[in-house]
Chain A
């Protein structure tokens, strides 16, 4: 019961904050960076499961595809197209300061498994570092590599592989 009340309160505060151009100054401090389980429930009280700001569905809707950036074979550099997408992600994260995100790094199937895990981590970190360079606090971002394990396109051709070489930013839902 308490939890619901708090969630609603915070959600209203966020909704109000969203009307301003700049992030509110009065945001509570972010979770400490020394969390032992970055994927776990270490967040604040914001209810991001309801489709509100900071939730995955809200984020994905706002991004309209800009939650994903693509890479060339074996590469992990951020090109100008990626930079546009990452700026939109950063704007969102700077606007909704309670939102926390994981950047998922992926590779296509035309690699070896261990190398693809390393490559996915490299890509996720490149995207994360770019977000940090735009002002998103590092403590709100984590990375995870799925290597070639989670293809979004299942074809065995160059266009499918191109779609799978990606980094996807996903809101951490609590």
Chain B
């Protein structure tokens, strides 16, 4: 149970030990250049200029070659050895970078495999011949202490120049994170946006027929790997949310027969009630600093929004007060305001209030209903479920203006943001079967993809970039 945190600490952004002296790996028998100390060069800014929300991203042809290794040796990360692991690393980088609109990547399975020595001295003519604009290369080395060193390089093929590099020393169990870090490096460098691939997602796994659906709390990496069920499905689980430090998950469970929010401690497996009350509690949300939990509670049939200290034991504070349904809520990134939904006007609409509940005002005045608002981590957008006949994912400015619909299906619901505020994740319910699945869409609305999950999936919630 303790693996997560310990493993997190182990993955340090460590510079590589200088100049390992391998010499006999290059079949061409050229003089071998080995990877040098690696640091991320962040001085030159993005290559493509600032990406704005409204313009489609420019697609860049980018070759992602299999990572090389200095010596193909077994590792706990791959029974087939570090050579096979290098291919897997590149496949992860490729899968992260494709389908998000910025890149037109070609993956390692369609490319020649560079030798270890070529990682720092690319065979330029090879890549120019393939009309690649950019090249990602890397290597993986097994260290004596069992850990892995992974290096990641981004080259501009036309200029024959290195654009960025980084290296990480990881526990074998955390090897995928090195690949996500590499994808993050490339993504950030080329887009000017903050990284987001090295993060995790909590969601609800759904199985069984519609009138006897089993719903389990589950977690996975941002690409669906390292999947793990947390609850066994005997009682319905709903609406999970990672704490900002990944130590806890707030979610709803019917474990005692009634809807109640529990705080699940990932380290210990222990869980506690968000508040000692016999009233139903639901719709948990964390404040950005992790100090508060917002939740909704119904007393005498009337639902209002409360906040309570996430440390536990504090007295809940009521933030809304009216006969209508006030529910949900999402903090602005500075923690000073909360966007929430209320049906006080007769239907679900979005409202903003100060974090102490004062200054409540409606912001949604377009047609249809505004539900499940979620403030972007960048602060400049609010995503929500727009109900106008069908259910669509939409965004608006925090003042309610500039509403844009991003998806167009029968029932898309419950947006939550990628840590960098560029991608929105939501779940889609298929008409007829009722089968739910998790999808991602970028802010242009043009790049949409399904996230593969082992079974049906709903209520996705993205955690921040891992520390």
Contacts and interface: CB of A to CB of B under 8 A. Distances in A.
Given A114-B296, A121-B280, A144-B258, A154 B413 contact: no
Interface string A114-125: 110111011011
Contacts of A36: 278
A117 B301 contact: no
A38 B327 contact: no
A114 B211 contact: no
Given A113-B413, A149-B238, A151-B210, A118 B296 contact: yes
A127 B257 CA distance: 19
Interface in A36-87: 36-39, 74, 76
A74 B341 CA distance: 14
Contact of B283 (A114, A144, A149, A151): A114
B196 to A, nearest CB: 25
Interface string B298-319: 1011110000000000000000
A89 to B, nearest CB: 17
A118 B372 contact: no
Contacts of B385: 112
A126 B280 contact: no
Interface stretch (B50-58, B114-122, B429-437): B429-437
A145 interface: yes
A149 B236 contact: yes
A38 B301 contact: no
A126 B431 CA distance: 31
Given A149-B236, A156-B431, A118 B298 contact: yes
B239 interface: yes
Contacts of A118: 282, 296, 298, 303, 325, 327
A114 to B, nearest CB: 4
Interface string B98-122: 0000000000000000000000000
Contact of A38 (B252, B278, B296): B278
Given A39-B258, A117-B259, A122-B301, 12 more contacts: A39-B257, A112-B372, A112-B391, A112-B413, A113-B413, A115-B348, A117-B280, A117-B282, A117-B283, A118-B327, A143-B301, A152-B211
A82 B450 CA distance: 43
22 contacts: A37-B278, A38-B258, A38-B278, A39-B256, A110-B411, A112-B372, A112-B413, A113-B238, A113-B414, A114-B328, A114-B372, A115-B325, A115-B328, A117-B282, A117-B283, A117-B296, A118-B298, A121-B280, A125-B300, A129-B301, A145-B280, A149-B215
A122 B303 contact: yes
Contact of B434 (A112, A122, A129, A154): A154
B259 A145 contact: yes
B32 to A, nearest CB: 58
B89 interface: no
Contacts of A154: 209-211, 434
Nearest to A160: B210
A160 B429 CA distance: 16
A39 B280 CA distance: 12
Contact of A125 (B210, B236, B252, B301): B301
Interface string B273-309: 0000010101100000000000010101111000000
Contact of B343 (A37, A74, A110, A117): A74
A145 B431 CA distance: 24
B347 interface: yes
A121 B303 contact: yes
Interface in B364-411: 371-372, 385, 387, 391, 411
Contacts of B301: 76, 121-122, 124-126, 129, 143
